[in-house]
Amino acid sequence: MSRKIIIFDTTLRDGEQTPGVNLNIQEKLEIAKQLEKLGVDVIEAGFAIASPGDFKAVKAVAETIKNATVASLCRAVEKDIDRAWEAIRNAVSPRIHTFIATSDIHMKYKLKMSEDEVVERAVAMIKYAKKYCSNVEFSAEDAGRTRPEFLFRVIKAAIDAGATCINVPDTVGYTTPPEFGALIRSIMENVDGIEKVDLSVHCHNDLGMAVANSLAAIENGATQVECTINGLGERAGNASLEEIVMALTTRKNYFNVHHNIDTTQIYKTSRLVSNLTGVHVQPNKAVVGDNAFAHESGIHQHGVLNEKSTYEIMTPESIGLSANRMVLGKHSGRHAFEEKLKELGYTLEQDAINEAFKMFKELADKKKVVHDEDIHVLIGERVSKIPEVFELVSFQINSGNRLISTAMIELKKEGNIITEASTGDGPVDAAFNAIERAVGIGLKLVDYKLRAVTSGQDALGEATVKVLKDDKTFLGRGISTDIVEASIKAYLNALNRMMSEIS
């Protein structure tokens, strides 16, 4: 019988640490519910003590998810563990995940602790966590650069203290697959009791080897992999869930392991996370990139037309890409729209369907064909809905290659109309300046991106902005067939997100 690999998703914790990503509670809940549909075994919902917002989000996820373990990360500190337990205590299957660094460089410069002190702290905090929760994971931070003899000692002490899962992170993405595989094998061979617990790995992608290192670990005995959707995470990100899962699925005979992931939910999950985080998937990204199943070379096209397996080692349908060519447009009715939602994997409450259908009709009036990708973006827009303190009423733009761009913006706040105008370096800059004058709040624009969701002259445009206020970044998204309107909506979305967090 093949070995079960536990899929531990940390999109909501490590993934959210991606620079510029700031999800609200509703967005985190939507992602968590989709991860549950995807079939992940463990959802790391956040770092409960990091902020009041993080605590509320972890608590909400813990109280919502029924078919996966919900974990909260915490340092090896009593107050962190107390807060983590408070957040996850109502979960059907809670897990406390505590960590402490074990490499020489971390112990010397960050912790300023000796080996004995680190072991003592790890043991004490695992025992402390066990008072709350039977399921306790221990991570030896920077294990990839830890001396093996000391790593064995820490892991053995953690197991004896009651840890049920031992995580071996390549925290800075330093190791290579042969090295990391050998490290996992050495732990299996040198630590008494390791067979009684789950052995996990958490690989970062600084050198582009996170997935390869994770697979090498599985080959050498690891039973859990920690990963994120689209490989999100700090710096160069984490091991990509979809790449690991599809490698294990496509090369099942080689790895001889199994998992609980419903691979047909992969594409939808990827697009949902991309839409809500504002981090777009590169076209040549493995498995979920736009070009993953595209063939331009004549030789490749000829081969695929004759037999798909000539150049496709997995099918588009296996990750949830539909072969159904049903086209939606302004004449499409509610039934066709609801069938399309089901086909794309969405299960929405009736109120949400009504709102999504209204948005679809408004879009269909502006463009001839509404594509699947348009629907994904519309649903992401619905999920990201936040209270509109400032609502766009109208805008006018005057711009040209020999004119100073001007914008007039009309906003509504609590029933009152605010009108302001301003100039700028182009229509978008002028509109942003007019908004700032209207609301009386100065924001620093740190990033602005614009992309066409699909091809064609009537393509839906998606704008993403990141603004800075008091050293905190807020993400805003807007969609429209008019790129200036999409930009204005994105800026207002970021502004309203800021207002909702400070209110």
Which amino acid, one-letter code, is at 447?
D
β-pair type (405-413, 391-398): antiparallel
Instruction: Specify the range with the lowest mean pLDDT, choosing from 271-275, 343-347, 406-410.
Output: 343-347
User: Rounded CA gap, 153 and 192, in Å?
Assistant: 10
Q: What is the pLDDT of residues 286-310, one digit of tens each?
A: 999 988 886 545 555 456 556 777 7
- At 299 the pLDDT is 52
Mean residue pLDDT across the chain: 91
- At 325 the pLDDT is 47
DSSP 323: -
More confident residue, 335 or 211: 211
Tell me the chain's radius of gyration from C-alpha atoms: 25
User: Rounded CA gap, 317 and 323, in Å?
Assistant: 7
DSSP 329: -
- At 302 the pLDDT is 54
Q: What is the pLDDT of residues 76-87, one digit of tens each?
A: 999 999 999 999
CA 380, 382, 386: angle at the middle one, nearest 5?
A: 110
Q: Which helix (H) or strand (E) holds 433?
A: helix 427-439
pLDDT of 275 higher than 70: yes
Q: Which residues contact 348 (CB under 8 A, 6 or more apart)?
A: 341, 356, 379
- At 479 the pLDDT is 87
CA 312, 313, 317: angle at the middle one, nearest 5?
A: 75
β-pair type (198-203, 472-480): unpaired
**Counting beta carbons within 10 angstroms of the beta carbon of residue 319, is it exposed (0 to 12), middle (13 to 18) or buried (19 or more)?**
buried
User: Rounded CA gap, 385 and 390, in Å?
Assistant: 13
